[in-house]
Amino acid sequence: MTGVWLGIGMNIDKVHHSRTILIVEPDHNYGQQLIELFWREGFVIKRCQSALEAENFYKNAIVDLMLVSNQLPEMKGLTFLKQCRQVSHIPFVLLADNYSDTECVNSFFHGVDDYISRKQPIKEVLCRVIAILRRIQHRQLPSNKTKLLIVDDLKMDKQSLAVSYKETTLSMTPIQFNLLWTLAFQQNQVLSKDYLYRQVLSREFSLYDRSLDMHLSRVRRKLVSAGMPVERLKTSHGVGYSFS
């Protein structure tokens, strides 16, 4: 049986690898540990450091679960949860600095899916997230209906494959659309060629295969012709690509 070995005497089947986890964590070290843990298991990760940044992201993108610190710069995580539940039912896990019976009860009352103390082993966070995603695997979540991605002046509609930059409509092939969506969805993150070949072209990367480079060049040319600064679609030589 293929699974995730967590080093704690358990072997857990992997959930679907395209699941997107939004981590809202201002602490750099703990946030990086979470990113590395979930990334190793094949999840798509987006990290925000504030409630405002997270709100702007999840309202315009597909998110399967939010993992949120209770100590955000502008508000408590519980307050952010209450705001989220007014407009969204995205699965929500609250990370507490110190366990509190009152806070735990209030969190579940207001719709949290799990409440975890940061003092628990970090692999337990992964276990609980996988358990939540497994429970909802066969449901059609509201987040799955979200097909619009907006990043500054770039707008993308996954339903119609429509792309526009500022007021200019751009024509793109399905592969070009998928490539740009993947990069823009994980803004400011360098994505490796290995990952992009699997995600966009559905095949393994080959050293002599220049297909991805050609698709990216055409996407960049179309965006630049619409007024986008060329440096926003970056090539990190020997590493991969990113959209800033």
For 21-58, write each residue's pLDDT tens digit. Answer: 999 998 889 999 999 999 888 888 889 988 888 888 88
Mean pLDDT over 194-198 rounds to: 83
Q: pLDDT above 90 covers what percent of the chain?
A: 18
Integer Cα distance of 179 and 202 in angstroms: 12
Residue 112's nearest CA partner among 127, 133, 91 is 91
* pLDDT for 139 beyond 50: no
- Asked if residue 15 has pLDDT above 50, the reply is no
CATH number, domain 4-144, options 3.40.50.20, 3.30.1490.100, 3.40.50.2300, 3.30.70.60: 3.40.50.2300
- What is the four-CA torsion angle of 53, 158, 63, 18, rounded to 10 degrees? -130
Q: Specify the domain boundaries for CATH 3.40.50.2300 within the chain.
A: 4-144
Residues of the chain with CATH 1.10.10.10: 147-243
pLDDT of residue 138: 44
Q: How far apart are CA 10 and CA 4, in angstroms?
A: 8
pLDDT at 18: 60
Q: Which CATH number fits domain 147-243: 1.20.1290.10, 2.40.50.100, 3.40.50.2300, 1.10.10.10?
A: 1.10.10.10
The pLDDT of residue 164 is: 92
Share of the chain above pLDDT 70, in %: 88
The predicted pLDDT at position 224 comes to 94
SS3 (DSSP) at 67: strand
Above 70 in pLDDT, residue 124?
Answer: yes
